[in-house]
Amino acid sequence: MDSNSELIKQVTAKAKGWLSDGYDAETQAEVKRMLDADDKTELIESFYKDLEFGTGGLRGIMGAGSNRMNIYTVGAATQGLANYLHEAFADLPQISVAVGHDVRHNSRKFAEIVADIFSANGIKVYLFDSFRPTPELSFAIRELGCQSGVNITASHNPKEYNGYKAYWSDGAQIISPHDVNIIDNVNSIQSVTDIKFKGNPELIEIIGEEIDAKFLDAIKGLSLDPEVIKRHADLKIVYTPIHGTGVELVPASLRNYGFTNIIHVPEQDIPSGDFPTVDSPNPENPSAMAMAIAKAKEVEADLVVASDPDADRIGCVIRDNNGEYQLVNGNQIVMILLNYIMLRNRELGKLKGNEYVVKTIVTTETIKAIAENQQIKMYDCYTGFKWIAAVIRDLEGTARYLGGGEESYGFLAEDFCRDKDSVSAISLMAEICAWAKDRGMDFNQMLQEIYLKNGYSHEEGVSVVRTGKTGAEEIQKMMKDFRANPPKKLDGSDVVLIKDYADLNVTDCRTGKVSKMDFPATSNVLQYLTADGTKVSIRPSGTEPKIKFYLEVHDTMAAASDYERCNKDAAAKIARLRKELGI
C-alpha cells in the first residue's frame, strides 16, 4: 500500500469517528460529504492532524474536521483551559473570565459556545454583547478582575480563517508556565464527551456599553496635549476599520479626544467577515489602504489611519515631500509614537527617572537612540505583545511604562491593557498630527526631524515562503546554514556581533568572546550586526510556512534635504543585502 493510500485509510477512520451521536447533524453531513467525494484532498486536509493549541491559542480554516476551527476544536480548547483554571485557582471561590469576538463568520457562535462551556464548568463569564476590538477584551479582564479571557479572532488572516486567543489574569496573552500547562490540559481532552457544552445561563453576564465607556475614558487619559487638539479640532482625519471591530470605538475615541472632522470610507464601515472591498484586510498592505487613500485625495486629508479586523494593529498614511500619500511602515509608527510620548513627558515635567519604553528585537534600533537621547530606559524583548506585557508585569510598581511596540504595526501606549491597541494608537497619532501642525510642520517634516536628531534608518521585511513538509525542512536547513556559516561582512562592512537567541549567546567577532543575553526564554532567532550599524534578523515564522528576514540600515542626515538621498541609498543597500543573503 503506498503512502497516500495509507493516509486516506487513516483519515477515513478518523473522520468516521465524527459520524457518532456526539457530533451535530450539520457536522456529520459535512463529514459524510467529504467521505463520499471522489477527490479526497479536502478530507485529508481536514483530518490528517489535529489543530494544535499552541502558545498563541488556535488559528485555522473553519470547517468540519480535527484540523479545522469548529465548535468541537474550540470546545476542546475551552474545556482544557477551564480544567487548568480550576487547578491554578483552586482556592478561589468564584473563577471568572471575559469572552469577546471579532466580525468573522462563526465568531459570535464560537464565543457563545466558549461562554457555555466555561459556565458549565462553574466559571463566571462576562460575554460581550457584540464584536469588540481585541484590546478591549484585555482591558475587560483587568477591569473586571477576571482570571482569564478568550477572544475569538483570526486578526488579519484571510476570511476562511478564525482563531482563539487565550489571556491570563493580567490581560496579556499567555506565556510560561501557564501556556505549557494549558496545552497539556487541552491535549488531555480525548473525546467530545469530555466537553461540557450545556451552559449555565446564571453564570453568564452580558457586558457592553459600560466597558466601552470605561475603556474610552482610560484612553482619553493618555492625551498629552489637549490644548493643541482644541486648536486643530478640525484636522481632516480619514479612518477605515477595513470592515472590522474598530468601526464604533475608534471614531468614538477620536471624538472623545476632541477631533470633529472624522471622514469615513462608507463601503468599509460595514462590518463583514467577507472583507468584500479588499484582497487582504491587512493595513500594512497598500492595497488594503487604497480606498482610504482615494478618499484622502478627494478631501485633501491631513492624516489617514486604519485598524485591522480585530482593531489591535494600526495602519497610517501621510503625505510625502511631493504631496503624495505614502504608507508609514510599522517601525516608523512605533518610532513616531514613542518619540512623541517621551518628548511630551519631558516637556510636561512628568519624567521622574524611572520611566521606560519597550521594543521587540526585530524593531528599529533608532528607538534606542531616541530613548538614549531622552535619557529613558529601553528594553528589548521577543516578537509578540505577550513579551512586552511580560516586561510591564515584571516592572509593575517599580517603574513607569511609557509605551512599546513592534515592527508589525502594533503599539501599546497604556498599561491598563496588555495587548496591542489601535484605538489608543490612532487617537495619539491624530494628536501627534495636530501637534506637528501647531509647530508649523506637516507629518513628513516631523518624521524627518526625528531622523535628523537621532540618525536615519530604513527597514525592510522579507518573507521567504516554503510550504509543506519539504518546505519546513528547507527552512530548518536555512537556519542551520546561517548558524554554521555566518557572513564575515555584509555589504562590505564587518560583522562585529552575532546574537543567537536559540542559546542566548552573543559572539564578538572581533575578539571571539562569547557572552550571555538576559532573556526569559530561548527563541529560534539569529541576528548579525555590522560595524556600519546594519542589523539583519532571521527567524522562522511560528504561525506560517515562511522564514522572515528583517533588514535594517543606517545613515546620517546632516539636513532635511538629505532625506531623499538617504532613502535612495538605503533602498540600494537593502537590495545588495538581499542579494548577498540569497533572498
Residues serving a catalytic function are 155
Distance CA 431, CA 229 (A): 6
Strand partners, 127: 99, 206
Strand partners, 498: 507, 528
Q: Please, where are the H alpha helices in 205-354? A: 209-220, 226-231, 246-257, 290-299, 330-347
> Can you say whether the dihedral through the CA atoms of 370, 380, 405, 352 is positive or negative?
negative
Cell of 484: 554554521
* AA identity, residue 126: Y
Helix, strand, coil content of the chain in percent (nearest 5): 40, 20, 35
> Can you say whether the dihedral through the CA atoms of 65, 70, 76, 81 is positive or negative?
positive
Burial of 285 (0-12, 13-18, 19+ CB in 10 A): middle
DSSP H/E element including 85: helix 71-88
Cell of 534: 546594519
Give how far the C-alpha of residue 573 lies from the chain's centroid of Cα atoms, to the nearest Å. Answer: 29
Cell of 353: 527617572
Q: How far are the Cα atoms of 75, 144, 318, 428 from residue 333, in angstroms, in the given order?
A: 38, 31, 11, 11
Strand partners, 67: none
Cβ atoms of residues 67 and 50 within 8 Å: yes
Nearest to 259 by CA among 403, 414, 428: 428
DSSP H/E element including 563: helix 563-581
Neighbour order of strands in the sheet with 262-264: 262-264, 237-240, 303-307, 314-319, 325-327
* AA identity, residue 539: R
Q: How many residues does the chain have?
A: 583
Region of residue 243 (phi > 0: left; psi between -120 and 50: alpha; otherwise: beta): left
Distance CA 258, CA 270 (A): 24
Region of residue 349 (phi > 0: left; psi between -120 and 50: alpha; otherwise: beta): left
Distance CA 353, CA 367 (A): 18
The alpha-carbon radius of gyration of the chain (Å, integer) is 25
Distance CA 574, CA 577 (A): 5
Terminal CA-CA length for the chain: 40
